[in-house]
Amino acid sequence: MPNALQVAIDDLDRMPRMPAWVTSTRPETAEDVAFLSGAALNHLHLVLNRVDLPHALLRDRLALRAAEAFVAFSGRPEREAALRDAVHLLRPGDLPGPAGETYLSWRRAAERPVSIKALGRALPTFEPGQIATWLDAGQGAPVGRAARVLEAVLTEAPRADVPALVLADAALAQALGWEHLVPLLAPGLKRADLRKQGEDLRVASHRALISSAIEAVRQAADLARRAAHLKAVAPKLRAKGAGDAVAMFLTRDAVAPSALPLPDRAARRLCDRLVDLGAVRELTGRDTFRLYGV
């Protein structure tokens, strides 16, 4: 009889794969770009409907990717490791810095179902009424709707790049019928794209979503396999509070041992045990102030 882990992996191997003609075709016209982005988003939609996908973990990982992309094209030096440190090693009373705030905005926007209240929590410098007005600027097909929201925000607030991208992702999610925002636009857009308008911005958004949807599907498959393995080894854990700790790993890109619902020493032992079982990875390469993730 196959074990539970093998059954889970065999089932995940049946996860819909992005068609090769989407990943390999080089679009040359606006019509090609729109067609391929529609195909890529449709495929991502199928993947996001999988019940065996760790949805919160995927959104958190994509939030990190979006923040890293934005920080890079805004000229700041922070990358993935520094962004994780800025957020996950934050102590009470500390400030995360500009790059950390960027990451927090995407994390907060993606962790709760899309609503004006949730978006206001992610973008506290804007009034709920203003957020609602900007979202209402997007009408029509999903990508065109997202592009119009992006343009509307940047027309009124030219320096509000992060809010504009977050709200554009929110508009896309609403148009596609997704309960949660999925961070997609920022990793695929170039800095110069944010200054485009009308049809040029819509085409740039289509192009960005092709690459981002392909990467999101790849990450979804990878995280689903890793999550299945973590769930399979969870019964081997004897520490009190291990079940709650596993639940945290299944929803967060990175976890500090101090954040786990265990005493410090027990938390570190649990993390080391999960690494030995191949269920989580140590993400920093450091001997101290370590972070762990699926």
Q: At 17, is the pLDDT very low, low, confident or very high (cuts 50, 70, 90)?
A: confident
> Which pair of structure tokens corresponds to residue 56?
């919160």
Structure tokens, 91: 């102590």
For the record, the structure tokens of 84 come out as 């994780």
Output the pTM of the full model.
0.92
Rounded to an integer, what distance in angstroms lies between the CA atom of residue 206 and that of residue 76?
Answer: 26
Same domain, 201 and 249: no
Asked whether residue 1 is domain-assigned, the answer is: no
User: 60: Cβ–Cβ under 8 A, 6 or more apart, which residues?
Assistant: 107, 110, 111, 251, 252, 253
In the predicted structure, residue 14 carries a pLDDT above the cut 70: no
Which pLDDT band, with edges at 50, 70 and 90, does 43 fall under? very high
Distance CA 218, CA 208 (A): 16
Q: What is the mean pLDDT of residues 36-54?
A: 95
Q: Residue type for 58, please?
A: L
Q: How does the average pLDDT of the chain come out, rounded?
A: 92
The answer to whether position 20 is within a domain reads no
Q: Are residues 44 and 146 located together in one domain of the fold?
A: yes
If one compares 28 and 14, the residue with the highest pLDDT of the two is: 28
Q: Residue 159's domain spans which residues?
A: 25-224
Q: What is the pLDDT of residue 91?
A: 85
Query: Using CA of residue 52, residue 55, residue 61, residue 62, what is the dihedral sign?
Result: positive
CATH number at residue 266: 1.10.10
Residues whose CB falls within 8 Å of the CB of residue 18, separated by 6 or more in sequence, listed in order:
40, 43, 213, 214, 217, 218
Provide the CA 288 distance to its chain's centre, in angstroms: 27
pLDDT for position 229: 96
How much of the chain, in percent, has pLDDT values that exceed 90? 83
User: Do residue 152 and residue 246 come from a single domain?
Assistant: no
Does residue 164 or residue 20 have the better pLDDT?
A: 164
Residue 12 in any domain: the answer is no
Residues 58 and 201 in one domain: yes
Please work out, in degrees rounded to the nearest 5, the angle formed at the alpha carbon of residue 104 by the alpha carbons of 100 and 108.
180
Asked if the model's pLDDT at residue 174 lies above 50, the reply is yes
pLDDT of residue 139: 80
Confidence of residue 10 (pLDDT cuts 50, 70, 90): low
Q: Answer yes or no: do 208 and 119 share one domain.
A: yes
Query: Could you tell me if residue 18 is inside a domain?
Result: no
pLDDT in the model for residue 3: 57
Span 212-228, average pLDDT = 96
